[in-house]
Structure 1
Amino acid sequence: MPIGLFALALGGFGIGLTEFGIVGLLPEVAADTGVSESVAGYLVSGYALSVAFGAVALSAAVIRMDRKKVLVGLMLLFILGNLISAVAPGYGILLAGRIVAALCHGAFFGIGAVVAADMVEQSRKGGAIALMFGGLTLSNVLGVPFGTLLGQQLGWRATFWVITALGVVTMIGIQALVPATPAPQDTHLQRELAAFRRPQAWVSLAVSTLAFAAVIGPFTYIAFTLTEETGFATSTLPWLLVLFGVGTFIGNYVGGRAADRNLDRTLLTALAVLTVVLGVFALLVDSKPAAVVLLLLMGAVGLSAAPGLQVRIMVYAPDAPTVASGANIAAFNIGNAIGAWIGGLTIAAGLGFASPLWVGAALAVGGVGALLVGAALPREATAGEAATVEEPLPALARQPESAG
């Protein structure tokens, strides 16, 4: 594989760490900035909303620019945002830094995937894309627990300084190792937007939103849930987050293979099982052994839907790959924001730190309902849709654009 792919993978690792590295540090951030737990959670939902905006707006704005130059520019934005977060004197500036950093998220993965594929021959494109997205997966398994541990030992700002340094190294690596990749001049935004006239495309976006709201909403407050409800010591959080990360890794792999065999059945099963897992977690939240097992299952089942969700939008908008991919990233992160927001409202209402788990279960039920609506609609197959929901699909479809 070309060495430039590792620069892209490092960028994915840093972006993944930026998105969820804050989760394990919310108690420290809340105490240091003098805000409530629910307000601290807006650092996750605010980031997610910014990702949603940037995924669509920036992808559309740079659709005809040289992709290497775009990636370098996006990393500059990433560095600036994390630098602002590292030196933020208070909550407001910290939130602003998170919003700036998030703008690059969706466009980086959408454009980076195209660049990665262009760097190798046809038979190796799937592997190249998988390597790039491997950085994002690795950030969930190792990066987030490491960021939590580092922040607990040296202060939460230290985590942002490390992420800023990762951004600098990534930008240099892209500039030095990634070849110039001009965008095709026959690309037209209006033609890609026309794909969203199909109801099935909107069903896909609705399911993506609800599925990610269901799992990321409870995950946003998991540090509070595990310490305040279950009774774990704060020092154990990094190792508990490793469990969630391992679960996401397993779920992504298994969910991708299952989606190749039967897409809609895989998504329905994942969301139905997620409903049960979250409900049982809420009921047994005061049991440490149960919490350990259910945290692993929450990551595995929740993220097992991610590959299938990406497959579905590609099936029903095959003639709009750039905008459809960006829109799906936006849907993921709107879901992240909605889940975190509603979970924060229940906590603020005095319903306890287990309440986001119940919210997640309800949102998962909504995802099942949206899928059933989609099953009742026409398939809307077009001449450009070579793949079907029952046929094997490309390796790209198995790689999640975001763990939110």
Structure 2
Amino acid sequence: MPFVLPLLGLAVFAQGTSEFMLSGLLPDIARDLHISVPAAGSLTSAFAVGMVIGAPLLAMLSMRWSRRRALLAFLVAFLLVHVLGAVTTHYGVLLATRFVAALANAGFLAVALATATAMVPPDAKGRATSVLLGGTTMACVAGVPAGALVGELWGWRSAFWAVALLSLPALLAILWSVPADRAPRFSDAGPGTRGELRALRGPRLVVLLLLGTLVNGATFCAFTYLAPLVTEVTGVGAGWVPAVLALFGLGSFVGVGLGGRLADTRPVPLLVAGGAALLLGWTVLALTAGNPVAALVLVFVQGALSFAVGSTLVSQVLYAATGAPALGGGFATAALNVGAAIGPWCGGAALTAGLGFRAPLWVSALLTALALVLAGVAHGARRRTVRRGAPSAQDAPA
């Protein structure tokens, strides 16, 4: 793997930490800026909206830039808005910085995925993807708890400064290691925005993007409500919550590594077996959440399975997006973030309906079951199409 890829993963780690760290900083932000906690919570919503909008939009806007120019522009913007967020005393300015940071994060990840897969052999896209997504999982394991600790020791602004500082090594790595000339995927000789958008309408890509949305929706539905589950159902003390969240993050890191090893060689068995195991795991966790040992084991296992399947789906999008090399990563990023928004909303709706703290797990199981049904229907449609006449790789459903 090229040396620049782990440093791109470090930038993704910083960005993932920024995305998730506010959960431990909201009370301090609310007190310092003299706003309510729900208003402070809107900072998280602003980031989520920016991620969904930014991934495809910024990928399209940067198509005529060199990869280095695009990566540098997004990372510098991300760094600067964190500096601004660290010094501002106005809630409106902080809210705007969260939205802009998400746009820059989404654009960076989309271009980084295209860059990483272009810098490795054609059959190593899964491993390259796992290096980048490993940064996100490490943000769950180490970045978020570290951000909360830094915020507790030196105030919430210090966490924003820390994220900005973490971005500097990746900035230098991009300057040194990513070619300055125009890459073919962003050149005038490429298919262009319209051509790539047409390519993204291929049934196989659409199915893969929908599967990514459903699987990530299930993941973040359960992850968002792990804290009340383990305190109210499992019965462990609130002091165990960071450890449980870190356990899920550790599982996700293991899962991304596993996905990276198998996504290039055996993606279909991994997706089929992993999807079925995910459905079984969410169901068993919902039924056994009252048992601390079973709950802790399954939290780790589900984190591993969720990210093994999710990262493999992202790599399969990149394999399938031969006609959309620039926008494939952007739409994959958007699909994951749509899932990350829809899943917690569905889980919250189940809680609001009074279905209990196990309800988000059942919602995760339902979303996973829908993904399996969709994959089965697409596979059946593909077999029928093949019997009528062999389709192209792009037009065949997943």
TM-score by length of 2: 0.81
When residues 376 and 71 of structure 1 are mapped into structure 2, their CA distance, relative to the original with a 3 A threshold, is same
Residue in structure 2 matched with residue 248 of structure 1 by the alignment: 252
Residue in structure 2 matched with residue 13 of structure 1 by the alignment: 13
Q: Shift in Å at residue 225 of structure 1?
A: 3.1
Q: Distance in 2 between matches of 1:369 and 1:229?
A: 30
CA RMSD after TM alignment: 3.6
Q: Distance in 2 between matches of 1:49 and 1:257?
A: 32
Q: Shift in Å at residue 63 of structure 1?
A: 0.4
- Note the 1:277-356 alignment, pairs <5 A: 277-356=281-360
Residue in structure 2 matched with residue 207 of structure 1 by the alignment: 211
Q: Distance in 1 between matches of 2:155 and 2:45?
A: 22
Do 1:150 and 1:159's aligned partners in 2 also have CA atoms closer than 8 Å? yes
Do 2:205 and 2:397's aligned partners in 1 also have CA atoms closer than 8 Å? no
Residue in structure 1 matched with residue 226 of structure 2 by the alignment: 222
Moved more, 237-246 or 128-137: 128-137
What SS does the corresponding residue of 1:55 show, helix, strand or coil? Answer: helix
Residue in structure 1 matched with residue 76 of structure 2 by the alignment: 76
When residues 267 and 146 of structure 1 are mapped into structure 2, their CA distance, relative to the original with a 3 A threshold, is same
Query: Unaligned stretches of 5+ in structure 2?
Result: none
Q: Shift in Å at residue 266 of structure 1?
A: 2.8
Moved more, 12-21 or 2-11: 2-11
Q: Does 1:167 align with 2:167?
A: yes
Letter in 2 for 1:60: M
User: How many residue pairs were aligned?
Assistant: 386
When residues 289 and 91 of structure 1 are mapped into structure 2, their CA distance, relative to the original with a 3 A threshold, is farther
Instruction: Give CA deviations for 1:132-155 in whole Å, capped at 9, x if unaligned.
Output: 554344333322332344345555
Residue in structure 2 matched with residue 58 of structure 1 by the alignment: 58
When residues 317 and 179 of structure 1 are mapped into structure 2, their CA distance, relative to the original with a 3 A threshold, is closer
Identity of aligned residues (%): 37
Q: Shift in Å at residue 58 of structure 1?
A: 0.5
Do 1:210 and 1:363's aligned partners in 2 also have CA atoms closer than 8 Å? yes
Q: Shift in Å at residue 319 of structure 1?
A: 2.0
Instruction: Give CA deviations for 1:7-44 in whole Å, capped at 9, x if unaligned.
Output: 423212111212233455568778985345xx877655
Q: Shift in Å at residue 92 of structure 1?
A: 6.4
Q: Distance in 1 between matches of 2:351 and 2:100?
A: 27
Do 2:75 and 2:105's aligned partners in 1 also have CA atoms closer than 8 Å? no
Do 2:129 and 2:315's aligned partners in 1 also have CA atoms closer than 8 Å? no
When residues 167 and 260 of structure 1 are mapped into structure 2, their CA distance, relative to the original with a 3 A threshold, is closer
Residue in structure 2 matched with residue 400 of structure 1 by the alignment: none
Q: Shift in Å at residue 243 of structure 1?
A: 1.3
Letter in 1 for 2:201: R
TM-score by length of 1: 0.80
Do 1:68 and 1:178's aligned partners in 2 also have CA atoms closer than 8 Å? yes
Q: Shift in Å at residue 350 of structure 1?
A: 4.4
Letter in 1 for 2:18: T
Do 1:41 and 1:221's aligned partners in 2 also have CA atoms closer than 8 Å? no
When residues 117 and 285 of structure 1 are mapped into structure 2, their CA distance, relative to the original with a 3 A threshold, is closer
Do 2:79 and 2:164's aligned partners in 1 also have CA atoms closer than 8 Å? yes
Q: Distance in 1 between matches of 2:317 and 2:2?
A: 29
Do 1:41 and 1:220's aligned partners in 2 also have CA atoms closer than 8 Å? no
Letter in 2 for 1:110: A
Q: Shift in Å at residue 304 of structure 1?
A: 1.6
